[in-house]
Copies of this chain bind each other. A is one copy, B any other.
Amino acid sequence: MEGFGVHTSMWTMNWDRAGAERTIPAAAEYNMDFIEIALLNAPAVDAPHTKALLKKHNLRAVCSLGLPQKNWASVNPEGASAHLIQAMDVAAAMGAEALSGVTYGGIGERTGVPPTETEYDNIARALCAAAKHAKKLGIAFGIEPVNRYENHLVNTGWQAKWLIEKVGADNIFIHLDTYHMNIEEKGAGNGILDARDYLRYIHLSESDRGTPGEGTCDWDEIFATLAAIGFKGGLAMESFINMMPELAYGLAVWRPVAESFEEVMGNGLPFLRNKAKQYRLI
């Protein structure tokens, strides 16, 4: 994972053949190095079809997901690892470089109380099995801390590092997201500092998930700290202007967070690219 990419939610949240055919050439037009594909329903994906399109357009890919409730790792570690393994197989068949996201639980998973040791033990078990499978497949495997409302288990870079060290696998990476960091970290730079040993991927998402550069994220601090730690991983723009109703609940998107697709791609994307260049990350 390296270079500058974009989450495919800008074009579709439904990764069927039509979605892939619309998205991949469009992302290539914007000179992306890679795309992030949400694997919401891995078995339904036509992996060879995606693989061929990626190759044709010279794009790399990263896959991401959150676990469905029946397979939350905190309560059903076997269900979780089976789910992850299946998704990894599809990701590998697509030629994707990694599976990441809320791979340790659900988007919207909250018990109403702080996390328990049992929950973390279960999660560690699931992640351990999944990491082994990832190694066998030769793909990278990541975990993404999300904010306190989307999950009660892993909210910060520090917690992600702690969890990886608890699992003890040597091939799990941290995937940060500036939107969540803006809520959870004591200065966005601190999340990067805490995660630095394992950090290989970052979502560049504005504070309201709208147009990058038009919110409250401190992009200078973010990019300066990334540059200072020698970050070489993937920079993925994410904006949620195209959300399916069934995803909106966990993500709590109730209104348009940007004026239009054009605003995000026409203003937000150049903003991020210029800022990344200013700090010599791309």
Residues of A within 8 A of B (CB): 110, 112-115, 147-150, 152, 155, 181-190, 192-193, 196, 207-208, 210, 213-218, 220-221, 223-225, 227-229, 245, 248-249, 252-255, 267, 270-271, 274-275, 278-280
Q: Which of A187, A255, A274 has the most CB of B within 10 A?
A: A187
Cα–Cα distance between A228 and B192 once the two chains are bound (Å): 9
Contacts of A115 on B, CB cut-off 8 Å?
254
Docked-complex contact B267 and A214, CB < 8 angstroms = no
Can you name the residue of chain B whose Cβ is closest to the Cβ of A229? B228
Q: Interface of chain A, helix or strand or loop or mixed?
A: loop
Choice from B183, B193, B216, B223 contacting A188 with Cβ under 8 Å: B216
Given A187-B215, A220-B189, A254:B152 Cβ within 8 A? yes
Docked-complex contact B274 and A214, CB < 8 angstroms = yes
Docked-complex contact A216 and B214, CB < 8 angstroms = no
Cα–Cα distance between A18 and B196 once the two chains are bound (Å): 47
Choice from B181, B220, B253, B254 contacting A221 with Cβ under 8 Å: B220
Contacts of A207 on B, CB cut-off 8 Å?
182-183
Cα–Cα distance between A182 and B178 once the two chains are bound (Å): 13
